[in-house]
Copies of this chain bind each other. A is one copy, B any other.
Amino acid sequence: MTRVLVVDDEPQMLRALQINLEARRYTVATALDGDRALDEAAETPPDAVILDLGLPGLDGTEVIRALRIRSAVPVIVLSGRSGAADKVIALDAGADDYVTKPFSMNELLARLRAVLRRPASDEPIGGSAVIGDHTVDLAGCTVRPVPIRLTPTEWRILTVLVQHPGRLVTGRQLLLDVWGPGHERKTNYLRVYLAGLRRKLERDPAHPRHLLTEPGMGYRFEP
């Protein structure tokens, strides 16, 4: 099911969008301001974001920039201002489309379909990392030069670690990112999967040089 995150400070507008989107079989998440929108997007990444620019607190363009740091999710901006300058600012901040209020629901839905049609819209911005003799490409989910198969969970863990190169990632954070809320205590998962990743990628799995354990803290990817 396609997830759409709708951000608007007016409950009426929020509700109207939610009803229309759910009628088209989209899964809808809502947020009333920018901070909660970023929390929600971090929790369960949406496939698209519909964002009202006129938010209290965090500015709409800042929300776009914050989203862009971690993902390439398409963003459609709603705004009451039709001036060209506003559109330029929002689009250059990273928005994918700009719709002026009042708008037709059909037009918004068509624009939503247009941005969702793009390839790789749900894939996180990934880089690549060198581990042992292997180069892993997060975007393409490939390992070169020797093809090695990783399971979906292994890819997710590796993605989180590689996106914070050299920095400690707590077990809690890892469990939250990969398994979601409610699994923060299952540290044995991490032991099992980190062992698997080392066995597949590290030159000497017993003495890892890139996928390191910080006892009592968490794990760290060392480039």
Residues of A within 8 A of B (CB): 1-2, 24-26, 72, 84-85, 87-88, 91-92, 94-98, 103-104, 106-107, 109-111, 113-114, 116-120, 122-123, 137, 139-142, 149, 151-152, 155, 160, 163-164, 166-168, 170, 172-173, 176-177, 180-182, 184-185, 214-217, 220
A159 to B141, CA, bound (A): 19
Residues of B within 8 A of A217 (CB): 141, 152, 155
- Structural contact, A139 and B111, CB atoms closer than 8 A: no
What is the total number of copies of this protein in its complex? 2
Residues of B within 8 A of A185 (CB): 1
Across the interface, name the chain B residue whose C-beta is closest to A84. B104
- Structural contact, B182 and A25, CB atoms closer than 8 A: yes
Residues of B within 8 A of A95 (CB): 114
- Structural contact, B166 and A113, CB atoms closer than 8 A: no
A119 to B166, CA, bound (A): 15
Beyond A24-B182, A26-B181, A142-B168, 15 extra complex contacts between A and B, CB < 8 Å: A2-B181, A2-B184, A72-B118, A84-B104, A84-B107, A87-B107, A96-B118, A97-B97, A97-B114, A118-B118, A119-B160, A119-B173, A140-B167, A141-B167, A141-B168
Partner of A122, one of B98, B119, B170: B170
